[in-house]
Amino acid sequence: MSASNIVNPPVGESFPDSQSVSDSSDSSNEEGWEDVEPDEESQPVVGLFTSQVFPDARSMLKECKEKYNFDLLKIQKDLDLDFLDNIKLVNYVRTEVKNGNKNPDVSSKSKFEDEVYLKPVLEDDALLYSLDDLTEEQVEHAVPATETNRQVLELQENLERLQTQFSEYRLAVQKSMDDQLSKEDDKLAESNPLPSAKAVDRLQDAEDGYFVSYAYNGIHESMLKDTIRTDSYRDFVYENKHVFKDKVVLDVGCGTGILSMFCAKAGAKKVIAVDNSNIIDRAKEIVHDNGLEDVITCIRGKIEEVTLPVEKVDIIISEWMGYGLLFEAMFDSVIYARDRYLAPDGLMAPSHATLRLAPYADPDFIASHISFWNNVYGFKMDSMLHKIYDEAVVRSNQPTTIVGESQIFLTLPLHTITVEELSFLKEFKVTLNQDIDALDGWAIWFDIFFMPSRESVLPENAIPSDMQKKGIVSFTTGPDGTETHWQQTVLLIDHAKDHGKQGSQALKKGQLITGKIGYEKTEKGSRGVDISVQWESDANEKGVQLWSLV
């Protein structure tokens, strides 16, 4: 789902009846799958320079060009903006106009490069979803607001009025809940000192940005096109229809709703799909377009805050894994859902995960990523190496870079593991299987297993390829498997010691390296992870280092 080398960015109402879910025994349409996108249709858009609501983005941008001499599409072209730049541009302009400046400076991309402009100024801003689909010709020939368009706007105003009334109702309910919980909050406040207001704001901004990132198509396209990931979920559900038949299923972090639809097609009686980003609106449309609204209920919100329409569920399905497995801290929410909603005999899908560590050596990557800065067109740029070893690197590696047998350092049985166990310090022992000039770092990846029963026991040192031969759906994110969007997490060792003297040394095949690896949240409330490794070889190669996965 997200990491140090990408922008961070790693959820109920039903539509009217249209068609009931197909009989689970009907297999005519069960070969293959695809994510179904809703038909393109115009959405009302709020003006950039006024509060007027336009029937679509085209007519709004046309007025911006004619009345305010602001040609957004030309600016995109002149500044060579990508998708995220476009998002920042729109939010920058809205921010400036909101502050009274109707002539924002857009002469350079640097004017709106701050990450703060990834956060929408307007909730559910339809313009943000239309930027990639517009052309100058479409805007030039946009139809002015006609009587029909004005009727559309009236309907939109009515909808906004109803949304306001619903929001007021939610606030009233929330106030009631807050009153009931206030005594517990006071107790917690006495036993736990509060973080500073600045720290709370910073963490909240990061939390908001996390959910905003999952509102965009790109991240969902990446996950859906990861066939190792999506095929595994599909295969487990379809190969175990007897497990899902007439069951109530909870999909935590449903995204586009693909897992929910697998479950509905497999015969689930009811599926509750929860997500806290705007993607839930697309999920509702997709569910409706596939005639599954009688089975699937989509709910927006954090699983810790929403109220489900059932007391207990039979199955919890979720694709919660982040880079290095635990980045994003989404598994904390899945554990909450399990403890709050899963029936005593309920099933978690997937059911197990394992984390692996292996010694890593890749002279070519070190040369391109580290040594490169020693001589750039004849100039020393060593200062660019500042903190380059502090962050974990997420990348796909060749099997040849793994210079020893990997070892499982943590097994996660999803039915029983606790949040507290996700912070740990575990011992490891690995043996080199080849000679190397230097130990460049450590590679981390995870394996996922779908056991069909909560009583199923995962064998010690389980390997997905072996489990697949036994009919157990599983997959690896390691370098020996087909590449996934998670890739591997690489921890590069900083060998510079004693004022620049290189402390690395050659190691021989068969040499043993022992040590400890630890995971810890970057800070309380953060979705980042700090990873520590301390190690020592029988050739006196040793060290200790901390990396951040943020």
How big, in percent rounded to 5, are the helix, strand and coil portions of the chain?
35, 20, 40
pLDDT of 168 higher than 80:
no
Burial of 459 (0-12, 13-18, 19+ CB in 10 A): exposed
pLDDT of 401 higher than 50:
yes
Q: Is 175 left (phi over 0), alpha (psi -120 to 50) or beta?
A: alpha
Would you state the pLDDT for residue 184? 45
Would you state the pLDDT for residue 94? 92
| Domain 218-319 -> CATH class | alpha beta
Q: Are strands 53-54 and 45-46 parallel, antiparallel or unpaired?
A: antiparallel
**Catalytic residue, candidates 285, 328, 520, 523:** 328
Would you state the pLDDT for residue 385? 86
Query: What does the pLDDT average to over 45-50?
Result: 89
Q: Of 50-54, 221-225, 414-418, where does mean pLDDT reach its minimum?
A: 221-225
Would you state the pLDDT for residue 152? 58
Would you state the pLDDT for residue 473? 97
Query: What does the pLDDT average to over 145-153?
Result: 54
Domain definitions of the chain by residue range: 45-118, 218-319, 353-549
300-350 pLDDT, tens digit each: 999 999 999 999 999 999 999 999 998 876 889 999 999 999 999 999 999
CA distances to 19, 90, 119, 241, 451 from 263, rounded to whole Å, are 17, 38, 33, 8, 16
Q: Is pLDDT larger for residue 262 or for residue 378?
A: 262
Query: What does the pLDDT average to over 426-449?
Result: 96
> In percent, how much of the chain has pLDDT > 90?
49
Q: How far apart are CA 1 and CA 321, in angstroms?
A: 7
pLDDT of 36 higher than 50:
no
198-211 pLDDT, tens digit each: 544 544 444 444 33
Q: Give the chain's mean pLDDT.
A: 80
The answer to whether residue 113 is catalytic is no
Helices and strands counted in the chain (H then E): 14, 19
pLDDT of 354 higher than 90:
yes
SS3 string, 475-493, reads: EECCCCCCCCCCCEEEEEC
pLDDT of 29 higher than 50:
no
pLDDT of 400 higher than 60:
yes
Q: Is pLDDT larger for residue 174 or for residue 357?
A: 357
SS3 string, 14-41, reads: CCCCCCCCCCCCCCCCCCCCCCCCCCCC
At 57, the pLDDT band (50, 70, 90 cuts) reads: confident
* Domain over 353-549 is classified CATH 2.70.160.11: yes
Instruction: Return the half-sphere exposure (C-beta side, CA atoms, 13 A cut-off) of residue 337.
Output: 33
Same fold across 218-319 and 353-549: no
Stated as kind and residue range, the H or E segment containing 440 is none
pLDDT of 217 higher than 70:
no
At 213, the pLDDT band (50, 70, 90 cuts) reads: very low
Query: What does the pLDDT average to over 522-532?
Result: 77
Query: What does the pLDDT average to over 275-291?
Result: 92
CA distances to 55, 80, 258, 260, 304 from 65, rounded to whole Å, are 17, 19, 40, 43, 45
Would you state the pLDDT for residue 538? 82
Burial of 251 (0-12, 13-18, 19+ CB in 10 A): buried
C-alpha torsion angle, residues 108, 98, 137, 82 (rounded to 10)? 40
465-507 pLDDT, tens digit each: 999 999 999 999 999 999 998 899 999 999 875 334 356 789 9
103-113 pLDDT, tens digit each: 999 999 999 98
pLDDT of 511 higher than 90:
yes
At 85, the pLDDT band (50, 70, 90 cuts) reads: confident
Place of tokens 């069951």: 247
Q: What angle do CA 103, 104, 109 make, to 5 degrees?
A: 150
The answer to whether residue 41 is catalytic is no
**Catalytic residue, candidates 63, 96, 319, 541:** 319
Q: Is 15 left (phi over 0), alpha (psi -120 to 50) or beta?
A: beta
Would you state the pLDDT for residue 79? 92
